[in-house]
Amino acid sequence: MDLPATADGWTAGRVDAIRDVTPTIREIAIALDRVPTCAPGSHLKVRVVADGRDDYRSYSVVGATPTGLRIAVKRQPDSRGGSAYMWTLSPGDGIAVAAPRCDFPLSHGAPHYLLLAGGVGITPMLAMAEQLARRGANLRMVYAARSDDEFAYREELTALLGERLALFAADRGEIVDIAAEIDRLPADGELYMCGPLGLMEAVRHAWEAAGRPRGNLRYETFGSSGSHPVRAFTVKVPRMNAEVLVRENESMLDALEAAGVEVVFECRRGECGLCAIRIVAADGPVDHRDVFLSARQHAENTQICACVSRVAGGSITIDPAYRGDDAFAFAGARA
């Protein structure tokens, strides 16, 4: 499979090696002409073919190789096509990538660090743990997974961290006591978290309840896990006299774009809020999957982040013209 780099900013790479690090997480090593410098917490934007269209997805960089970079991709049953495409790749296939970008940077010199990973959220944390261990930082890692065989990089992490690593497997009935973990982190410590939305919300609440400084909590999430099963729904756009069907395997953002409804976006992960659109009405439950809007804003149901959030069947009526600069007003109001 060849995917030549054609657009500005894309670089042609090649799949060098593939390794399943759990039954559902696959590591893909990509060989590049020049190996870019990559800080822990970086993402690599990768061109994919999703739902028959050229598109892109961003994946955490797990580490470097002598010839390139390693990323890891979780196979998502509800995938819009990105993870399914990545899982079709074989060694030797062409792959186009953009320069890595770091939106989840690790600080230098904090007195204590707690790294908290859930599921595939371990992928940015591995490089963080390696760098902190190299620096001799005070570090504890808490890693929760659905089952014992879903701990990716378990051997590497155990060798690196020893007793500073705590594993929690849900199928063994092990549950992370988030409040207790925050409690054992000294007051000047920093918490880095990457995992699903529910875990992140719990961490945010516990952090606030403990009275910790907001700036010492840094997180990244993946907004694929909602509160309702994925179902097709219809988006009505009265301003354009349009109705757009959002199928089960695509996002509302992708469907609107394909229908010619312009929506500003950036992260596609429910984090930046640029794709937030005003909801005029909804006749199905709105499944908010972003981490940009606050719990209060989710309950109010007046905006939806189109990149990750959905309606669990039925229809939603939106006013896309409300977008634009208003997104920056939301940022200041964020709880």
Interface contacts to ligand FES, rule CB under 6 A: 265-268, 270-275, 290, 292, 305, 307
Strands 42-50 and 101-102, how do they pair?
A: antiparallel
Smallest separation (angstroms) from ligand FES to the CB of 327 = 9
Smallest separation (angstroms) from ligand FES to the CB of 56 = 12
Between residues 142 and 244, which has the closer beta carbon with respect to ligand FES?
A: 244
Between residues 42 and 58, which has the closer beta carbon with respect to ligand FES?
A: 58
Q: C-alpha distances in angstroms, 68 versus 91, 114, 266, 306?
A: 14, 29, 25, 33
The torsion defined by the Cα of 133, 135, 136 and 140, in degrees rounded to 10, comes to -40
Query: Coil, strand or helix: which one is 331?
Result: helix
The number of helix segments (H) and strand segments (E) in the chain equals 8, 19
Between residues 193 and 275, which has the closer beta carbon with respect to ligand FES?
A: 275
Between residues 142 and 291, which has the closer beta carbon with respect to ligand FES?
A: 291
H or E segment and range at residue 86: helix 82-86
Between residues 250 and 290, which has the closer beta carbon with respect to ligand FES?
A: 290
Smallest separation (angstroms) from ligand FES to the CB of 251 = 9
Smallest separation (angstroms) from ligand FES to the CB of 270 = 5
C-alpha 332/C-alpha 313 separation (Å) is 32
Q: C-alpha distances in angstroms, 206 versus 69, 165, 166, 226?
A: 35, 21, 19, 20
Query: Coil, strand or helix: which one is 146?
Result: coil
Smallest separation (angstroms) from ligand FES to the CB of 3 = 23
